[in-house]
Amino acid sequence: MPKKIMKAVKKNKPQVWPASKTGKARAFMKSTTTMKKLKPVPYVRHAGVQTKFRKERVHFGVSVQGLFSMRPQALFRVLQKDGILPDWKGVPVAATPVILGMNHKPVSRIYNNIEIARSRRVIKKQKEIQFGAKNQWRDVEADEVDVGKEIDLQRKKAKWEQWGGIVERGQPNTLVLFRLPPKITAVRSPGPGPITKRDWRPMANKFLAGRNVILHTDETYKMKVPSVLRDNVVHKKKKMLVKGKQVWVKPHYTKIWEHKLPCGKRVTVKAGAQIIDRFWGHLRTSLKYAPRKVGSIALA
């Protein structure tokens, strides 16, 4: 389309016939199409009090007066952070007796007692956790993970250490963990498989039933629970038929989902299990040097 004609019809933007396939006229006609405005949907709808990292407020360096005024523990932390003193965090349990120059038995006893005390405290705190609210529908995520594998060479079978977790979005202190009894698989199996209804039913009835919860999971959590609405996302690529051709579709980790509440209202949320998946990554990092024997106290 010539420039003069484009300037003349720019005010009214009429339909040009025949429609151009390339060039300025094509770009001009594409600008006339009205696009639907999408309303942004937040991933966390009910966020709690969370501390955010403010990069502009971080101060680098400590004055001499500040070092003299510090307490011993704070001074050690600052010197370890700057690399002046060695930081022994993340050191394997087997290396501790070598560093301290002592027998390994008292060291292993201390570590075992710490793990037992931590496990008892977590079990006590989990009994006080409640999901959902009275007048609001809250978003809750659930997923499972395998953190250990043990191979029986005689039977040529593999035992797995599998855990499940539930957490409310915006409330990281509501994390609940529970141990699962996975089935024994072949040695080359990639995993023990998803959680079963037999294992999920008591956890769902204990923590979620009657709590007005929107549960975000994968495809395996299909059991109906009272006062619980569920959505899911597919975490693997699929082969779909598009215009008569088989096409690989990329996995979806989040998805816009609309739920109809029992009162008749509709609520739009984002499906996905990004928060609990992030926790599984932190868990695997912390258990990098821990003994991963199936059924051990260190994993309890």
Number of domains in the chain: 1
Phi, psi of 108 (to 5 degrees): -65, -35
pLDDT for residue 28: 64
Q: Is residue 34 part of a domain?
A: no
User: To 5 degrees, how large is the angle CA 220–CA 222–CA 227?
Assistant: 135
Is the confidence at residue 6, as pLDDT, over 80?
Answer: no
Task: Determine the pLDDT at residue 9.
Answer: 52
pLDDT(141) > 90: yes
Q: Is residue 278 part of a domain?
A: yes
Q: What is the average per-residue pLDDT within 215-232?
A: 90
66: closest CA among 78, 56, 55, 58?
Answer: 78
Q: Which residue has the higher pLDDT, 13 or 100?
A: 100
The pLDDT value recorded for residue 143 is: 94
- Comparing 48-62, 76-90, 173-187, 246-260, which segment has the lowest mean pLDDT? 48-62
* Confidence check: pLDDT of 178 > 90: yes
Tally of CA atoms within 13 A in the half-sphere of 126 that contains its CB: 16
Q: Would you state the pLDDT for residue 118?
A: 86
- Tell me if 292 is assigned to some domain: yes
Q: What is the pLDDT of residue 168?
A: 94
pLDDT score recorded for residue 157: 92
> DSSP per residue over 188-231, as a string?
T-S-S-SPPHHHHHHHHHHHTTTS-EEEEE-TT-----TTEEEE
Q: What is the pLDDT, as a whole number, of residue 3?
A: 54
63: in domain? no
Tokens representing residue 114 in the block:
């710490």
In order of 161, 234, 288, the CA distances from 296 in angstroms are: 9, 32, 15
Cβ contact 241:256 at 8 Å: no
Whether 285 maps to a domain, the answer reads: yes
- Residue 227's domain comprises 131-299
Q: Which H or E run contains 73?
A: helix 72-81
Q: In this model, does residue 32 exceed pLDDT 60?
A: no
pLDDT over 70 at 13, yes or no: no
Residue 2 lies in a domain: no
Q: Is residue 99 part of a domain?
A: no
**Span 65-123, pLDDT tens digits:** 888 888 988 888 888 888 788 877 767 777 888 888 888 888 888 888 888 898 889 88
Question: Quick one: pLDDT at residue 50?
Answer: 64
Percentage of the chain lying above the pLDDT 70 cut = 81
Establish if 119 belongs to a structural domain: no
Check whether 33 has a pLDDT greater than 60: no
Residue 53: pLDDT band (50, 70, 90) is low
Query: Can you spell out the DSSP letters for 232-251?
Result: E---S-EEEEETTEEEEE--
